[in-house]
Structure 1
């Protein structure tokens, strides 16, 4: 059985890849959601003035200072979506899958955006440099449940520290911490967006839609009382996300969704089962199956898993991790609400 790092396996769920997934932060005026934040809440407030110096302290404690507010942003896809939901169109995007076929971008116009990477860690440095970004946005995942950040390792989405050093020669890198509470991740995206010029009114409007979707998800979870298993599978076996460790599942659980959580204090981020032991985790009424791994057909082909009640009842759903911003999460919560209401207890 292979052992995956927390950052890489997070991509499999969140969006990610998985996301979901103790990123913290708030705007200098207080986050629009009013949620408490973690480490980011102690950082210096960012300053933004379109006609003067600009600074922003990211979730690693690094302060980026420029002589003007950034107008040209390059970003890893998960965070680009959050910025685009507020009207900030990146000049360049790199992602873990082909951006052109990533359905999370379906409602956005990418005609003026350079796609400089379609596979994790593979970034066309020349194309990125040609886009001339003022800043590059990516993430950093904690290495454990306590939220420890290893800033000596490459940030999320980068192949290695050598590549990161090359990127930093093109533009300063802003890191968003992705771990712990989902609302903290959203607050951090909001803090960066506001530093880039997004108005409080724009954020508040997005929150209104988010709140309505969250309330409906809570109602659906209470009505159905179903257990949801969020997972990734491949030739080695099954990886079941620990709901407290992935920001998106942490958020949904806080809204009442009942996630499979057989070993909450065990190995960080995943419960891992070989195919020989797959039957141990057959407790969910609904399976949310990560889009990048085995799907229902492949799962049915595994003798030790084919009898899973959710598979038999056609209650296994392909699941692509949403970005952790108000708009993306409102849409994702609506999708999960529909899944719950169309499913039955097994």
Structure 2
């Protein structure tokens, strides 16, 4: 979950059993570009070529899978149940899990890089799935760095000694990432009918968001803030924002250079302007921003046009929910900037 910085490394680098809900998986086709995987019937071998080019092979379709929270959300939405999850936030503190049944999913840590290896081993996972972020706008992957959510290479090696690790690319066009995650979930046994129904909801929500964007012509800022300053997301570098931009939502591009984030010191935070503010669920919240002299007069903040940026997961269901909310927020907002 890249909804907040994690120091210089992130700025620059940026399922107990997988309970298959009574369905058989449909096989896919392995790819060599790290975007797809394939599986035979649950009694046969399963393989997946991940984003780093590594081919992960298991002698049966994985049934006990540990997944980073960004992807665990999608797996649950698609009818799969990870045995465990890890990431930047505990499920109890992550708003994205609020309406999902997380019964039986072990919490392996409560912060980035915090993974209880003994607990992980006790789950006897067949597979660990995480994500990997490009290091630049061209989509370059630095395979010398650990996968997202892992503290360092040593920790990743320890995890790989317990179960094979597959990494999913979290970059480029949002629709592509959604399709790749759906393909992976299908190969692990997610019901096709569940994914198809979610895709229909996605299409409806996308149309509603496009209409709202066209009708209101509002500028939107996505940002995280803490004591060091304000971090405005560059929409072309975040696949979720890229998806929304593709249907007409006008996201503000930060002035400071840099991949993914445009970083403003609090001295310069007054330069951040927009009609609607999407504020990360982590870090400073509205009350904190109002205490910042250089940001307290921000138009969106003063008029209450601030909404939570939960970093919605890249699956059809999660995106349908958030796009529906965003369309409503745009519809209820007014133009504040010229």
Looking at structure 2, the residues matched to 279 and 115 of structure 1 have their Cα atoms a distance apart, in angstroms, of 39
- 3-state DSSP of counterpart to 1:215: helix
Cross-structure match for 2:267: 276
**Does structure 1 residue 212 correspond to structure 2 residue 204?**
yes
- Give the deviation of 1:29 after TM superposition: 6.5
**Does structure 1 residue 229 correspond to structure 2 residue 193?**
no
For residues 233-248 of structure 1, the aligned pairs below 5 Å read 233-248=225-240
Cross-structure match for 1:299: 289
Q: In 2 relative to 1, CA 9–111 (structure 1 residues): closer, same or farther, beyond 3 Å? A: farther
Q: In 2 relative to 1, CA 101–294 (structure 1 residues): closer, same or farther, beyond 3 Å? A: closer
Cross-structure match for 2:157: 165
Looking at structure 2, the residues matched to 327 and 98 of structure 1 have their Cα atoms a distance apart, in angstroms, of 21
Deviation per residue, 1:130-158 (Å, 9 max, x gap): 11110001000011111111111111000
Looking at structure 2, the residues matched to 174 and 39 of structure 1 have their Cα atoms a distance apart, in angstroms, of 13
Cross-structure match for 1:311: 301
**Does structure 1 residue 131 correspond to structure 2 residue 123?**
yes
- 3-state DSSP of counterpart to 2:295: coil
For residues 1-346 of structure 1, the aligned pairs below 5 Å read 4-5=7-8, 7=10, 28=28, 39-40=33-34, 46-263=38-255, 266-282=257-273, 284-346=274-336
Deviation per residue, 1:108-140 (Å, 9 max, x gap): 222212111111100111111111110001000
- 3-state DSSP of counterpart to 2:262: strand
Looking at structure 2, the residues matched to 167 and 3 of structure 1 have their Cα atoms a distance apart, in angstroms, of 21
Looking at structure 1, the residues matched to 285 and 129 of structure 2 have their Cα atoms a distance apart, in angstroms, of 31
Where does structure 2 lack aligned partners over 5 or more consecutive residues? 15-26
Q: In 2 relative to 1, CA 149–271 (structure 1 residues): closer, same or farther, beyond 3 Å? A: same
Q: In 2 relative to 1, CA 302–38 (structure 1 residues): closer, same or farther, beyond 3 Å? A: farther
- Give the deviation of 1:28 after TM superposition: 3.4
Looking at structure 1, the residues matched to 219 and 324 of structure 2 have their Cα atoms a distance apart, in angstroms, of 17
- 3-state DSSP of counterpart to 1:340: helix
CA contact (8 A) 2:11 2:260 kept: no
Looking at structure 1, the residues matched to 32 and 215 of structure 2 have their Cα atoms a distance apart, in angstroms, of 32
- Give the deviation of 1:3 after TM superposition: 9.0
Instruction: Give me the CA root mean square deviation.
Output: 2.2
Report how many residues are paired: 320
- Give the deviation of 1:339 after TM superposition: 1.1
CA contact (8 A) 1:75 1:138 kept: yes
- Give the deviation of 1:198 after TM superposition: 2.3
Looking at structure 2, the residues matched to 335 and 57 of structure 1 have their Cα atoms a distance apart, in angstroms, of 35
Looking at structure 1, the residues matched to 289 and 67 of structure 2 have their Cα atoms a distance apart, in angstroms, of 34
- Give the deviation of 1:313 after TM superposition: 0.8
Where does structure 1 lack aligned partners over 5 or more consecutive residues? 12-26, 31-36
